[in-house]
Protein backbone atom coordinates (compact mmCIF):
# COMPACT_ATOMS: atom_id res chain seq x y z
CA UNK A 1 0.00 0.00 0.00
CA UNK A 2 2.80 2.44 0.93
CA UNK A 3 4.59 1.70 -2.35
CA UNK A 4 1.43 2.43 -4.30
CA UNK A 5 1.01 5.82 -2.63
CA UNK A 6 4.69 6.66 -3.19
CA UNK A 7 4.39 5.64 -6.86
CA UNK A 8 1.26 7.77 -7.31
CA UNK A 9 2.91 10.79 -5.71
CA UNK A 10 6.00 10.35 -7.90
CA UNK A 11 3.82 10.02 -11.02
CA UNK A 12 1.86 13.13 -10.08
CA UNK A 13 5.04 15.16 -9.52
CA UNK A 14 6.50 14.00 -12.85
CA UNK A 15 3.35 14.97 -14.71
CA UNK A 16 2.97 18.30 -12.91
CA UNK A 17 6.53 19.52 -13.53
CA UNK A 18 7.08 20.37 -17.20
CA UNK A 19 10.18 18.81 -18.66
CA UNK A 20 12.13 21.17 -20.84
CA UNK A 21 15.64 21.60 -22.04
CA UNK A 22 17.23 24.52 -23.72
CA UNK A 23 17.08 24.19 -27.46
CA UNK A 24 19.88 25.28 -29.71
CA UNK A 25 20.10 25.58 -33.49
CA UNK A 26 23.28 25.95 -35.51
CA UNK A 27 23.13 27.57 -38.95
CA UNK A 28 26.36 27.12 -40.88
CA UNK A 29 26.79 29.37 -43.89
CA UNK A 30 29.55 29.28 -46.47
CA UNK A 31 30.78 32.46 -48.15
CA UNK A 32 29.06 32.71 -51.51
CA UNK A 33 32.21 34.23 -53.03
CA UNK A 34 34.48 31.44 -51.77
CA UNK A 35 34.89 27.80 -52.68
CA UNK A 36 32.09 25.40 -51.83
CA UNK A 37 33.10 22.72 -49.33
CA UNK A 38 30.01 21.03 -47.96
CA UNK A 39 31.91 18.02 -46.61
CA UNK A 40 34.19 20.31 -44.57
CA UNK A 41 31.24 22.38 -43.35
CA UNK A 42 29.51 19.17 -42.29
CA UNK A 43 32.56 18.32 -40.17
CA UNK A 44 32.38 21.70 -38.38
CA UNK A 45 28.64 21.30 -37.91
CA UNK A 46 29.02 17.77 -36.59
CA UNK A 47 31.59 18.92 -34.04
CA UNK A 48 29.27 21.74 -32.91
CA UNK A 49 26.30 19.42 -32.47
CA UNK A 50 28.33 16.76 -30.64
CA UNK A 51 29.62 19.29 -28.12
CA UNK A 52 26.20 20.90 -27.62
CA UNK A 53 24.63 17.49 -26.92
CA UNK A 54 27.48 16.76 -24.51
CA UNK A 55 26.80 20.10 -22.76
CA UNK A 56 23.14 19.12 -22.28
CA UNK A 57 21.43 21.12 -25.01
CA UNK A 58 18.78 19.85 -27.37
CA UNK A 59 20.58 20.75 -30.57
CA UNK A 60 19.56 20.87 -34.20
CA UNK A 61 20.90 22.44 -37.35
CA UNK A 62 19.76 24.26 -40.44
CA UNK A 63 20.70 23.19 -43.96
CA UNK A 64 24.13 24.51 -44.93
CA UNK A 65 23.68 27.62 -47.04
CA UNK A 66 25.77 30.11 -48.95
CA UNK A 67 25.72 33.82 -48.17
CA UNK A 68 27.90 36.90 -48.65
CA UNK A 69 29.63 38.36 -45.59
CA UNK A 70 27.57 41.61 -45.58
CA UNK A 71 24.35 39.57 -45.50
CA UNK A 72 25.73 37.58 -42.56
CA UNK A 73 25.87 40.84 -40.56
CA UNK A 74 22.05 41.14 -40.61
CA UNK A 75 20.67 41.00 -37.07
CA UNK A 76 17.51 39.29 -38.35
CA UNK A 77 19.35 36.45 -40.10
CA UNK A 78 17.86 33.07 -39.14
CA UNK A 79 15.57 34.39 -36.41
CA UNK A 80 12.25 33.73 -38.15
CA UNK A 81 12.92 30.04 -38.76
CA UNK A 82 14.39 29.65 -35.24
CA UNK A 83 11.25 31.15 -33.72
CA UNK A 84 9.05 28.89 -35.82
CA UNK A 85 11.09 25.93 -34.54
CA UNK A 86 10.73 27.03 -30.89
CA UNK A 87 14.50 27.38 -30.50
CA UNK A 88 15.99 29.20 -27.50
CA UNK A 89 19.43 29.98 -28.92
CA UNK A 90 20.80 30.30 -32.44
CA UNK A 91 24.44 30.11 -33.44
CA UNK A 92 25.25 31.50 -36.87
CA UNK A 93 28.59 30.42 -38.33
CA UNK A 94 30.00 31.88 -41.56
CA UNK A 95 33.04 30.25 -43.20
CA UNK A 96 35.04 31.36 -46.22
CA UNK A 97 36.89 28.57 -47.97
CA UNK A 98 39.87 28.97 -50.28
CA UNK A 99 41.45 26.49 -52.65
CA UNK A 100 45.13 25.63 -52.57
CA UNK A 101 46.25 24.82 -56.10
CA UNK A 102 47.50 21.28 -56.15
CA UNK A 103 46.57 18.03 -57.78
CA UNK A 104 43.86 17.48 -56.66
CA UNK A 105 42.99 20.99 -55.40
CA UNK A 106 42.65 21.21 -51.60
CA UNK A 107 39.92 23.30 -49.99
CA UNK A 108 40.62 24.81 -46.60
CA UNK A 109 38.82 27.28 -44.32
CA UNK A 110 40.36 30.72 -44.57
CA UNK A 111 38.16 32.78 -42.21
CA UNK A 112 35.33 32.15 -39.79
CA UNK A 113 32.80 34.47 -38.15
CA UNK A 114 30.12 33.48 -35.65
CA UNK A 115 27.33 35.00 -33.62
CA UNK A 116 25.36 33.56 -30.68
CA UNK A 117 21.81 34.93 -30.48
CA UNK A 118 19.00 34.64 -27.95
CA UNK A 119 16.02 33.93 -30.20
CA UNK A 120 13.35 35.33 -27.89
CA UNK A 121 14.51 38.93 -28.25
CA UNK A 122 17.09 38.65 -31.06
CA UNK A 123 19.91 39.91 -28.87
CA UNK A 124 23.46 38.90 -29.71
CA UNK A 125 25.09 37.30 -26.66
CA UNK A 126 28.57 36.91 -28.16
CA UNK A 127 30.34 37.00 -31.50
CA UNK A 128 33.75 36.45 -32.97
CA UNK A 129 35.88 36.45 -36.10
CA UNK A 130 39.13 34.70 -36.82
CA UNK A 131 41.44 33.97 -39.70
CA UNK A 132 42.31 30.30 -39.79
CA UNK A 133 45.65 28.68 -40.46
CA UNK A 134 46.07 26.99 -43.80
CA UNK A 135 46.59 23.27 -43.35
CA UNK A 136 49.90 22.52 -45.00
CA UNK A 137 49.36 18.81 -45.23
CA UNK A 138 47.09 16.05 -44.22
CA UNK A 139 44.59 13.73 -45.69
CA UNK A 140 40.94 14.62 -46.12
CA UNK A 141 40.21 12.63 -42.95
CA UNK A 142 42.80 14.63 -41.00
CA UNK A 143 41.38 17.96 -42.25
CA UNK A 144 37.87 16.76 -41.43
CA UNK A 145 38.94 15.85 -37.88
CA UNK A 146 40.60 19.25 -37.39
CA UNK A 147 37.39 20.97 -38.49
CA UNK A 148 35.30 18.77 -36.22
CA UNK A 149 37.55 19.84 -33.31
CA UNK A 150 37.09 23.46 -34.41
CA UNK A 151 33.30 22.96 -34.24
CA UNK A 152 33.55 21.38 -30.78
CA UNK A 153 35.62 24.33 -29.63
CA UNK A 154 33.04 26.83 -30.91
CA UNK A 155 30.18 24.99 -29.22
CA UNK A 156 32.15 24.76 -25.98
CA UNK A 157 32.63 28.54 -26.08
CA UNK A 158 28.88 29.04 -26.66
CA UNK A 159 27.99 26.72 -23.77
CA UNK A 160 30.37 28.58 -21.45
CA UNK A 161 28.88 31.92 -22.56
CA UNK A 162 25.38 30.68 -21.73
CA UNK A 163 26.53 29.26 -18.41
CA UNK A 164 27.97 32.67 -17.43
CA UNK A 165 24.75 34.37 -18.46
CA UNK A 166 22.62 32.06 -16.32
CA UNK A 167 24.89 32.69 -13.36
pLDDT in tens, 104-137: 778 889 999 999 999 999 999 999 999 987 766 6
Mean pLDDT, the chain, rounded, equals: 86
Fold that domain 20-166 belongs to in CATH: Rossmann fold (3.40.50)
pLDDT at 101: 83
One-character DSSP codes across 32-96: TTS---HHHHHHHHHHHHHHHHHTT-EEEEPPPEEE-HHHHT-TTTTHHHHHHTT-SEEEEEEEE
| pLDDT tens digit sequence for 29-77 | 999 988 889 999 999 999 999 999 999 999 999 999 999 999 999 989 9
Model confidence at 6: pLDDT above 80:
no
On the question of pLDDT at 164 being above 90, the answer is: no
- Enumerate the domain spans of the chain: 20-166
What's the pLDDT score for residue 121?
A: 93
65 compared with 102, residue with greater pLDDT:
65
Residue-level pLDDT at 21:
73
Indicate if the pLDDT at residue 141 is higher than 80.
Answer: yes
**What helix, strand, coil percent values describe the chain, rounded to 5?**
40, 30, 30
Mean local confidence (pLDDT), 142-167: 90
pLDDT at 14 over 60: no
C-alpha torsion sign, points 114, 117, 122, 125: negative
Residues 141-156 have a mean pLDDT of 93
Residue 12 has pLDDT above 80, yes or no: no
Amino acid sequence: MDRTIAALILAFVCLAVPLSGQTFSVALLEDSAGAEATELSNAVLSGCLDQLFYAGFIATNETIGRIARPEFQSSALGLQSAREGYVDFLALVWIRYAVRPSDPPVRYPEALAWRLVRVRDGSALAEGFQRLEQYESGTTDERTERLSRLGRGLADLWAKTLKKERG
